[in-house]
Structure 1
Amino acid sequence: MNVAKPRTTYVCQNCDYSSPRYLGRCPNCGEWNTMVEEVVTPAAAKPQSTRTTASGERSHPQLMSEIKHSTESRTKTQMEELNRVLGGGIVPGSLILIGGDPGIGKSTLLLQVSGQLSQTGGKVLYVSGEESASQIKMRADRLVVNSDHLYLYPETDMASIRANIEQMKPDYVVIDSVQTMQAPGIESAIGSVSQIRAVTGELMQIAKTNGITIFVVGHVTKGGAIAGPKILEHMVDTVLYFEGDLHHTYRILRAVKNRFGSTNELGIFEMREGGLYEVANPSEIFLEERLKDATGSAIVVSMEGTRPILVEVQALITPSVFGNAQRTSSGLDRNRVSLLMAVLEKRANLMLQNQDAFLKAAGGVKLDEPAIDLAIALSIVSSYRDTATQPTDCFVGEVGLTGEIRRVNRIEQRVAEAKKLGFKRIFIPKNNLQGWTPDPGIDVVGVSTLRQTLKLALDV
């Protein structure tokens, strides 16, 4: 009997390209030093598995008119911030991927969610490939997570995990993390492209055929992207990124893909000794440390999905010491800052080409919508002229290259949020005043040009 010999191949960990010899640069994706040696053992030919349901029925072609979809509503957790990011709650049978930097709080978030789901009667299986059951229990005691319907299972073998899922029939499964799981029949190393792809495919089949909601934790690379091939993000229903600074207590949960809701939603949490706590009004937190008469500061009402958030934009303009002026930004697009400074030079007659500019969005939040242009421009001029904006003023508007202020969306919600937080005056594009009546409790100033705004807000 002839037994096939194992062979060695080199597989790119970024795009799954394989080569019989080592290559310094992958010819498919162009990345350097991503080829890893893997041993491939030819498996005996066997029929492909057929997708079956929990009752054992095989899938077959059906007329669309004959298909009956589930009318079961979404399951809401006790975390309204998570419900908002997911589009209103957890969809049964969905596969949700959560990525983030090490130590940011992914396991803490999912353990708290598991405890909440199990307390409402759902059976939860928490599978960990990185920690023992006693270590998870220690964290659960600290987070005050305890339920008779929450099961801990330290395991990395997908065959054993699938067998226990079929036996227990849980409503929710947590996989922490996908890079530590090992699929049977795949000879490559744990965490390789082949392993991640096989494990994710099996988890997707379990979720779709049995109606089980599965949360998957994914590690991220140095560049901030989820480790493994892009197919990992394509296969799942929802991709969430858990962001934040390890030196600060606030965490931001952001959806970058969601088949059941918007990808613009954002949830904000605070990490404390007892776990993650929701931040119901993030605008107050972003503004609580603002100095009253500080120059180089302007408040913007930014929209994150359906939620308006007031954020302080700070600028520091100083004469350049070197030949080329620096342009540094944190939480803001550096190219947008350079563009607005060019508009200010041309349309407001400010000499900024010999000035270093340092800008940031306070609180660690990232702003990337066009409506923040006006606040950025006001903060730059405020620092350059050493003139403070009024502490009760805020600014909304997109700045064009000719210096015009262009209309933005959801202006009513932005004005209502500014009024709720005690602001007395808000500058908005003049064209946004059409078709609605502003609230009487706040002075809404419509502006059409950047020069007009500077005259009214800073008297320059």
Structure 2
Amino acid sequence: MPRPRVSYSCTACGAGSSRWEGRCPRCETWGSLVEVTAESSDLATGVLEPAPPPAALTSVMEQAATQPSRIAVSTMPELMTVLGGGVIPGSVVLLGGEPGIGKSTLLLQIASVLGQAGASVVYVAGEESPEQIALRAARLSLAGGGVTLSSETNIDALLQALSDSPPNLLLIDSIQTLRTDAGSSAGTVAQVRECGARLVEWGRRRGVSIIMTGHVTKDGAIAGPRVLEHAVDVVLYLEGEGLGPYRVARCVKNRFGSTDEIAVLEMTDSGLREVGDPSAALTQERTSTAPGSIVTPIVEGTRPLLVEIQALVAPSGGADPRRMATGIDFNRLLLICAVLSRRLRLPLGKHDVIVNAIGGLRVTSPSADLALALAIVSSLRDVPAAPDLAAVGEIGLTGDIRRVPQLQRRINEAARRGYRRIIAPPDAVPALETVITVVPVATLHEAVELALSEYPQPSDLEVSSPGGRSP
């Protein structure tokens, strides 16, 4: 009986250590080292295959010159665009998201569409029984032709069973449920690292596309070692509010396409469906007469879209005012509040400030600074902005308004949705074919005076916001 070998591994970065430490020596994360017990012969437990012969450089260049065929889901063109046009054979996609966000539903829809198209699909259900998968498919009215279900969670037995007849697409739900013959339980750092490495190697040698889901931590990162994200080809996050209808598929890594692309999906009774016009969907329920609401155009990847920023400023009941942000970077909120307090002399030190990006979208770009600041001032003064007004621009620490990238595309998107004015950084010029009026401002003080100088007239309050509604 080989003697167990005890080591410690970091749950954040996957670094190993021979002894326990309070802080990881590599990533300096506190309390992330966990004990990993493995047999001394663990390396011999896996199914090892002979390495392929070295390829000549000329043949490699010839393969690179040809466009690889992609597996595409015809009913989800936007999602395929996020993946770079489809899934390349032999590639591995890691899909992360919070529990209940729709990861398993999305995998089942992909399996159903590709199975009907004639592709061979194997769905490995490690978290649910085949009966539960069948009930979900019936509820979503999905056909199961061409899809094979498996509940095998032992990685060696699974790959051995699939080696005789490799499928076109292998779906793993989830990577944290797979295990090897080692002594540790499924979901540990060592198991996730080993199972992920074997799947990546097996899929690339046989040209099998693999999509596997992964759990996320409380910080929103995929649970397990960071080396797993480095090994896969595409990392995709499914974001959104669990109780809301909209989901955002965001690509943060893609070896075959651009990153930071998004696809907006809506959860319906028949599963996830793509939203054709995200700007209209995210602003259709906006109340134009409500204080603390400003629309701003952002750019996600190559797509411009409009997002409603809401703010609520209320007197604080304690000595320390609260700051809360949903869908907006918390540090960015603190920066904007500090600039407003210092440059505009606003008494935010005595008020709670709560901000929200409507629709479950996560706004990280500094281009939303101006809209966020105007929403806060609008709520503090209890004065709504004009219903046809949008705002875009980054705010510096001195209160100046700075340019943002792809400004013209943002202006055009606001004009397309019917907005007539947009407050923008200096030197912003609208395109000739647009009917929107660009109001350039150099300082935050100018922007506030232009957006909230006077309360709209009663006739204006009855006009619905473009893409929205009146109460």
TM-score by length of 1: 0.89
Counterpart mapping for 1:56-455 below 5 A: 58-64=52-58, 67-69=61-63, 70-77=66-73, 78-184=75-181, 186-433=182-429, 437-455=431-449
* Equivalent position of 1:55 in the other structure: none
The amino acid that maps onto 1:195 is: Q
**Secondary structure class of the residue paired with 1:110:** helix
Choose 267-276 or 438-447, whichever is displaced more: 438-447
Residues in 1 aligned to 2:148 and 2:291: alpha-carbon distance in whole angstroms: 55
Inter-CA distance 269–46: structure 2 relative to 1 (3 Å threshold): closer
**Secondary structure class of the residue paired with 2:205:** helix
CA RMSD after TM alignment: 2.5
Does structure 2 conserve the Cα–Cα contact (< 8 Å) formed by 1:332 and 1:368?
A: yes
* Equivalent position of 1:42 in the other structure: 41
Residues in 2 aligned to 1:349 and 1:367: alpha-carbon distance in whole angstroms: 27
Inter-CA distance 188–299: structure 2 relative to 1 (3 Å threshold): same
* Contiguous gaps of at least 5 residues in structure 1: 53-57
Q: Deviations over 1:34-73 (max 9, x none)?
A: 4235252536979994555xxxxx2315225654315333
Q: Deviations over 1:434-460 (max 9, x none)?
A: xx6343422222222222222222117
The amino acid that maps onto 1:71 is: Q
Residues in 2 aligned to 1:155 and 1:178: alpha-carbon distance in whole angstroms: 12
CA apart distance, 1:274: 1.6
Q: Deviations over 1:306-335 (max 9, x none)?
A: 112211111222333333333222221222
**Secondary structure class of the residue paired with 1:174:** strand
Inter-CA distance 10–215: structure 2 relative to 1 (3 Å threshold): same
Q: Deviations over 1:337-378 (max 9, x none)?
A: 222233233433433333322222122211111110110111
Inter-CA distance 187–68: structure 2 relative to 1 (3 Å threshold): farther
Residues in 2 aligned to 1:338 and 1:43: alpha-carbon distance in whole angstroms: 50
Inter-CA distance 356–129: structure 2 relative to 1 (3 Å threshold): closer
CA apart distance, 1:265: 1.1
Does structure 1 conserve the Cα–Cα contact (< 8 Å) formed by 2:9 and 2:36?
A: no
Q: Deviations over 1:255-282 (max 9, x none)?
A: 1211112221112212222211212222
Q: Which of 5, 8, 13 matches 1:11?
A: 8
Does structure 1 conserve the Cα–Cα contact (< 8 Å) formed by 2:428 and 2:438?
A: no
CA apart distance, 1:11: 3.2
Q: Deviations over 1:52-108 (max 9, x none)?
A: 5xxxxx231522565431533333212123112212222221100111122221111
Residues in 2 aligned to 1:291 and 1:411: alpha-carbon distance in whole angstroms: 26
Does structure 1 conserve the Cα–Cα contact (< 8 Å) formed by 2:47 and 2:156?
A: no
Does structure 1 conserve the Cα–Cα contact (< 8 Å) formed by 2:239 and 2:360?
A: no
Does structure 2 conserve the Cα–Cα contact (< 8 Å) formed by 1:9 and 1:18?
A: no
Q: Deviations over 1:11-50 (max 9, x none)?
A: 3361353547x76766665542742352525369799945
The amino acid that maps onto 2:111 is: S
Choose 74-83 or 291-300, whichever is displaced more: 74-83
* Contiguous gaps of at least 5 residues in structure 2: 455-471
Residues in 2 aligned to 1:379 and 1:439: alpha-carbon distance in whole angstroms: 29
Choose 251-260 or 386-395, whichever is displaced more: 251-260
Q: Deviations over 1:238-297 (max 9, x none)?
A: 111112222222222111211112221112212222211212222222222222211111
Residues in 2 aligned to 1:137 and 1:216: alpha-carbon distance in whole angstroms: 19
Residues in 2 aligned to 1:408 and 1:335: alpha-carbon distance in whole angstroms: 19
Residues in 2 aligned to 1:455 and 1:333: alpha-carbon distance in whole angstroms: 26
Residues in 1 aligned to 2:280 and 2:42: alpha-carbon distance in whole angstroms: 60
Tell whether 2:459 aligns with 1:457.
no
Inter-CA distance 216–341: structure 2 relative to 1 (3 Å threshold): same
Does structure 1 conserve the Cα–Cα contact (< 8 Å) formed by 2:189 and 2:224?
A: yes
Inter-CA distance 9–267: structure 2 relative to 1 (3 Å threshold): same
Inter-CA distance 289–159: structure 2 relative to 1 (3 Å threshold): same
Residues in 2 aligned to 1:80 and 1:174: alpha-carbon distance in whole angstroms: 19
TM-score by length of 2: 0.87
**Secondary structure class of the residue paired with 1:418:** helix
| Matched positions, count | 448
CA apart distance, 1:233: 0.9
Residues in 2 aligned to 1:308 and 1:378: alpha-carbon distance in whole angstroms: 21
Does structure 2 conserve the Cα–Cα contact (< 8 Å) formed by 1:51 and 1:205?
A: no
Residues in 1 aligned to 2:220 and 2:30: alpha-carbon distance in whole angstroms: 16
Residues in 1 aligned to 2:297 and 2:43: alpha-carbon distance in whole angstroms: 62
Inter-CA distance 5–230: structure 2 relative to 1 (3 Å threshold): same
The amino acid that maps onto 2:163 is: E
Tell whether 2:46 aligns with 1:32.
no
Identity over the aligned pairs, expressed in percent?
41
**Secondary structure class of the residue paired with 1:168:** coil
Residues in 2 aligned to 1:47 and 1:198: alpha-carbon distance in whole angstroms: 9
The amino acid that maps onto 1:452 is: E
